[in-house]
Structure 1
């Protein structure tokens, strides 16, 4: 276990992935600002521009498409969830059913956008949809369906065809960037709270961890990213890199972490709390890069007082 002393970490290169400091989208060749004052839910890169989901004044979602200069070129209503492909040449996003008299209804629309072309599929019996990955030309999403609302299931959709249920992965948590692996929670049984990593196509179980919640993978799928399963607070007290075949911990870092993603096959980027916490007005955080091979860490950004620090999806 490596204890991070954030004040003494050396300064390294900037993040190679896009990230967000409040309304500014930086890194990965981007430097623009999401206009307006609506709450930002997520951002994702698409080509040399950005997609951003926001909450409007009436509480409904809206997708903004920004060009490379930061100008809004399109608005799409009722979009709450989005994700981009690893090469950011394509993105997927979805609208969910509206509330009627305070009650959730059914009906979602799933979109794929590539090269300025948008395709969509209507999902009339779906609610609580969340797009999870865009890999190998397929969009992976979780959703509850009519008659089976208690557990969200995993589905895949190749634009131009119908969506299908991925029966091998119950209660999905994360999909690897290449779409070959997934982490999930058990739908039922005595292993509630334990994460299982398995092959998406075969359903073969690689490992299960009841200590770590597996929330991501490196691009080559060789390493799983875990945070404590029993996290009870605003941040995770550690981040672990685990061998995806055995579940053995390769490296583990201790601190207070809000977000973690794989920058490449050997480096993790983490949003680490420096001081304060939660929504405290004087909280400070920093993006840290840690190498899986050596355990060494460095600051990828300067310490910031931004209230919202997150990575593009």
Structure 2
């Protein structure tokens, strides 16, 4: 799930905020077409409206004027940048990952499930045939397990966040407690659920945030002091305690290829992040143009956000080559979440500001072409796990 806007400051100031899921196996075949009303590119950028561009070859002699239009197109000379206009995007198919529309959990492998009650819904996920929802309760939160008939089968107190495995067969969730004033108390409980529930209590940590559940291990970010820098932790369900991976400071995301995005520098209005190996922390590359916030399931593409986040939503979302750090494509707009749907597509929760209609937008990483995956409408909208 996308790092919230205040998270950059939180990683250094250690103020808590609230993952990543896989998409449908056929999504790459049915993504937005580059020649189907593609959004207008930013000024000076090549148009993404051609799916198979070719380079025209100059001739030594001038050719006669023809009445037939030329079929040749120009080859983009570099990475493209696209500005998203929500009203002009074509309507595509629904998201193939779990998402919340109103109070209904949709998408992913399962039937629509309605979250009962009227309290705020903060996170949703699917776990095999069940649905999970984090809802507000008093000064804190709780997680509801829901069956296919939308009936509550279990409640887990103080849960703030959920991540799932790519196949939806297991979920991890974290519980932290708050004072009546809203201030976080020290300590966290990490849960892992598949056929049974396992948990581990971790004392004396703050600002705990789940990053991923990969290869049977749960990765999370936490700090050992309330205002200190954070570090990466790895927990294998069934063991008595997690291991702190001290070579990976201030982690932002962990990939299936054994790499992690790390916030390495934070200055006023800017930041730098690096791609590090896990667990040894070897730096593969560094960027001061973007912030590493996630990865596609195959770890070939880095999901990137702006180098400074402070406000209602991110002004840009990007896709970087995970081997080199080079920009593949950048989209501009107002984005509250940036989540990979699969290895080829990015889902953006987009609107034009507070209280404006929103849509989950699907963008193809290779071409930059986008479409609306949900209708443009007001009401609660959230990409889950």
TM-score for the superposition, normalised by structure 1? 0.89
Change (3 A) 1:165 1:232: closer
- From 173, 179, 185, give the equivalent of 1:99: 179
- From 64, 67, 74, give the equivalent of 2:147: 67
The aligned residue for residue 253 of structure 2 is 174
State which drifts further: 1-10 or 11-20: 1-10
Superposed displacement of residue 179, structure 1: 6.0
SS in 2 for 1:150: coil
CA distance in structure 2 between the aligned counterparts of 1:113 and 1:160, rounded to whole angstroms: 11
Superposed displacement of residue 104, structure 1: 4.3
The aligned residue for residue 311 of structure 1 is 383
1:156-177 CA-to-partner distances (Å, cap 9, x unmatched) read 100111310112210111122x
Superposed displacement of residue 286, structure 1: 1.2
1:156-205 CA-to-partner distances (Å, cap 9, x unmatched) read 100111310112210111122x2622111127899972111112133222
Superposed displacement of residue 223, structure 1: 0.6
State which drifts further: 228-237 or 95-104: 95-104
Answer yes or no: is 1:40 the counterpart of 2:121. Answer: yes
CA contact (8 A) 1:241 1:252 kept: yes
The aligned residue for residue 240 of structure 1 is 318
1:271-311 CA-to-partner distances (Å, cap 9, x unmatched) read 121x4x22x2xx101111111112211121211211x3221
- From 150, 165, 180, give the equivalent of 2:244: 165
Change (3 A) 1:192 1:170: farther
Superposed displacement of residue 76, structure 1: 1.2
SS in 2 for 1:99: coil
CA distance in structure 2 between the aligned counterparts of 1:33 and 1:179, rounded to whole angstroms: 36
Q: CA RMSD in A?
A: 2.3
CA distance in structure 1 between the aligned counterparts of 2:257 and 2:106, rounded to whole angstroms: 26
1:14-37 CA-to-partner distances (Å, cap 9, x unmatched) read 211111123221111441111111
Answer yes or no: is 1:131 the counterpart of 2:203. Answer: no
SS in 1 for 2:264: coil
Change (3 A) 1:102 1:233: closer
TM-score for the superposition, normalised by structure 2? 0.73
CA distance in structure 1 between the aligned counterparts of 2:311 and 2:180, rounded to whole angstroms: 33
Q: Which has the larger radius of gyration?
A: 2
CA distance in structure 2 between the aligned counterparts of 1:189 and 1:271, rounded to whole angstroms: 27
The aligned residue for residue 307 of structure 2 is 229
Answer yes or no: is 1:285 the counterpart of 2:361. Answer: no
CA distance in structure 2 between the aligned counterparts of 1:301 and 1:51, rounded to whole angstroms: 21
CA distance in structure 2 between the aligned counterparts of 1:12 and 1:100, rounded to whole angstroms: 45
CA contact (8 A) 1:156 1:164 kept: yes
The aligned residue for residue 13 of structure 1 is 93
Matches within 5 A, 1:255-270: 255-270=333-348
Q: Which runs of 4+ in 1 moved over 3 A?
A: 100-105, 187-192
CA distance in structure 2 between the aligned counterparts of 1:103 and 1:12, rounded to whole angstroms: 42
Answer yes or no: is 1:27 the counterpart of 2:73. Answer: no
CA distance in structure 2 between the aligned counterparts of 1:8 and 1:97, rounded to whole angstroms: 44
Matches within 5 A, 1:82-121: 82-99=162-179, 104-115=184-195, 117-121=196-200
Tell me how many residue pairs correspond in the alignment: 303
